[in-house]
Amino acid sequence: MSKSILLIGSNGQVGTELQHTLASNYKVIALARPEIDLTHPDKLRQIIRETQPEIIINAAAYTAVDKAENEPENAHLINTVAPQIIAEESQKLGSFLIHLSTDYVFNGNSHYPYRETDSTNPLSVYGQTKLAGEIAIQQNCPHHIILRTAWVYGTYGKSNFVKTMLRVGQERSEVRVVADQIGSPTWAQDIASTITQIIPQLTSENAGIYHYTNSGVASWYDFAIAIFEEAEKLGFPLKIANIIPITTPEYPTPAKRPAYSVLACEKISQILGTYPPHWRQELRLMLKELQGKSL
């Protein structure tokens, strides 16, 4: 009998990929809004108690980083309160909880990849509420894996940096992109694959926080150039001619972002038995998958 998994946030970038990677080996109960609403704690408890899953994967979050500055209550409900409830119910059921978190729990002042044990100090409401969610899980459910990732893009979901750049590149000849924020672009499919590989190894000894991103580093400017170069090779219709590097102050946003948020992935690589593939290679594969689909 295959294990039952409650997948919360099943229609997002990672959630949609998880539906594909988990389907053949597990009984997946895939829920997203409006069936499940993380702003309604009682309903969330009820769903978990009714489904009684052996594993819960929370791939849902309030991810509108700038909007969160003006909607802190909503961000708090979805990113902090909901994970606490999921953790409490998971503990009562004896379930294992896998929860997605973010590089934005760090302030970006480091010059070396952040390890799981490094001090957190988020700069934004989004980062603060995600960190509070992590803490709530740690306090309420010892059988958990918190998987921090970064700069996520994918074929599915409404919007991400790759899709935005492709849209802009089809409409305009010039784009200005921030060049002084450094991270690791990460394909949603690789995150889903990693979670799927981790599941058979879920034990109390392996519980804790892990970092997972594609390997290699880039600025948003580097990432944009790579998107256009790879898309051009594949024959995407592009007007873009100039990509202009700018500084963070030249592109002011309501939420502060970490200038450097590269995550060290050695810990999870030991469990997986392999190091994450390079971001440029995975970008190429994603664009091939995206060809012919609407942006």
Q: Which of 6, 19, 282 shows the shortest CA–CA distance to 156?
A: 19
* Catalytic site includes residue 126: yes
Q: Which residues contact 167 (CB under 8 A, 6 or more apart)?
A: 295
Q: How far apart are CA 161 and CA 187, in angstroms?
A: 11
Crossing angle, helix 161-171 and helix 220-233, to 10 degrees?
A: 60
Kindly report the backbone phi and psi dihedral angles of residue 212, in degrees, each rounded to the nearest multiple of 5, phi listed first: -145, 120
Kindly report the backbone phi and psi dihedral angles of residue 7, in degrees, each rounded to the nearest multiple of 5, phi listed first: -105, 110
Q: How far apart are CA 195 and CA 198, in angstroms?
A: 5
- Strands 55-58, 208-211: pairing kind: unpaired
CA angle 249, 251, 253 (to 5 degrees): 95
Q: Which residues contact 281 (CB under 8 A, 6 or more apart)?
A: none
Task: Give me the catalytic one of 126, 210, 212, 221.
Answer: 126
Q: Which residues are catalytic?
A: 126
